[in-house]
Amino acid sequence: MSNIQRSNLTIYDEIPVGDPDLWIPTGDLEQLLSDSLIGASLAGLPIRTRSKVAKSWVAEAMGYSAPPSFQKTQPRFPGQLLDTYVQKANNLQIWNEELSSARRYVLIRVDSDDVITRIKVVNGDTLAVLDTTGTLTQKYQARFSERGQGCQLFSSRDTDLIEPLCDSGAVGSTQRRPEEPPSVEEGILPIADLFEKLRAIVGNSFKDSGAVSERSRGEALHRLVCKALGYTRYGDNGQFPDVRNQLLEVKLQTSPTIDLGLVLPNSDEYLDVPQLGGHQIRHCDVRYAVFDAKTDGTAVAVTGLVLITGRDFFNRFVQFQGRRLNKKLQIPLPSNFFSA
């Protein structure tokens, strides 16, 4: 906050994602806004005025001067890549634009008296998985063809940006957590080392919680991945990629269709993690562990693995074509969304 105040930047001035001095990480942003805004009242204000006042408070909490009026940019806060929504009901409405994986969404909960009670900051991927109405249709998908091939290290090397930052001795500390951002000091495993550790999962099985509970299946595999990589505990904060500490996204495939979310794996869009070695990390730098699996309805058996960089992803998997955007996205928020 103090760095932004001293910089004299406006909310419209670009800040590199992950900049160590000026970019506010998502977790820190949620805490900062909670400390500043919870308890404030928007009572008696018309909806448009309420929205402007809330945005002004958000700007000031981050250390910016609130502009006299807000430009109709997408997002409204381009410098920190965020939008704000004041929520009295559990129905989030986003008009005339797509959800963006790179964007942060500040959801401000108010009670029946229009007093701010909770703040939640999430990215577009988190909101995308909450859609249960079928109206959110702009997710990318790919096909896992030629399954049943065992273990394959498709990308023999990491991207040119990541490779110099790798360390074969990474994940040696019992203090590290899989959901924490990666760091140069603690190191990132090279993709070849990742492969050797992850291939040990092939041949394992776990209880099948049912096709309607993909999250539970995914969590079971995620736990196996954390253990295989040497972490002493399982951790998942719902952010992309699954194992942020190793820039690793995990996919469990009991069918050929791979759900990819809102950003293509080979995208050069920046990832919301701190810079590494002075470099901004891109989606294409993420490593994808695509696990082939079979289920008999009782147990899921892991039968294969493809480990690949986002940059190479579509050299192995075929992208489905077609993408549609609704004029209004309506996303029902779970009743425990603000307390989770």
Which residues on adjacent β-strands are paired with residue 199?
none
- Residue 65 is classified by DSSP as P
Query: Per-residue pLDDT tens for 214-249?
Result: 778 888 999 999 999 988 888 887 788 999 999 999
148-160: buried (b, 16+ CB within 10 Å) or exposed (e) per residue? eeebbbbbeebbe
Q: Where are the beta strands (DSSP E) in 116-171?
A: 116-123, 140-143, 151-153
Of 220, 253, 265, 259, give the one whose Cα is nearest residue 147. Answer: 253
Output the pLDDT for position 46: 76
Is the pTM higher than 0.85? The answer reads no
Cβ distance 259 to 217 under 8 Å?
A: no
- d(CA 143, CA 259) in angstroms, rounded, equals 9
- Output phi, psi for 205, to 5 deg: -140, 160
* The pLDDT of residue 130: 79
- Per residue in 170-226, pLDDT (tens digit) is 665 556 788 888 888 878 899 999 999 999 999 999 988 765 467 788 889 999 999
d(CA 246, CA 181): 8
Classify the C-alpha dihedral 89-90-94-100 as positive or negative: positive
Cα 318 to Cα 173: distance, rounded to the nearest angstrom: 38
- pLDDT attached to residue 326: 41
| Average model confidence (pLDDT) across the chain | 87
Q: What digits encode the pLDDT tens for the residues 65-107?
A: 999 999 989 899 999 999 999 998 888 888 767 778 889 999 9
pLDDT of residue 296: 85
| Token duo for residue 271 | 């990832």
Which distant-in-sequence residues (6+ apart) come within 8 Å of 212 by Cβ?
none
Helix, strand or coil for residue 296? coil
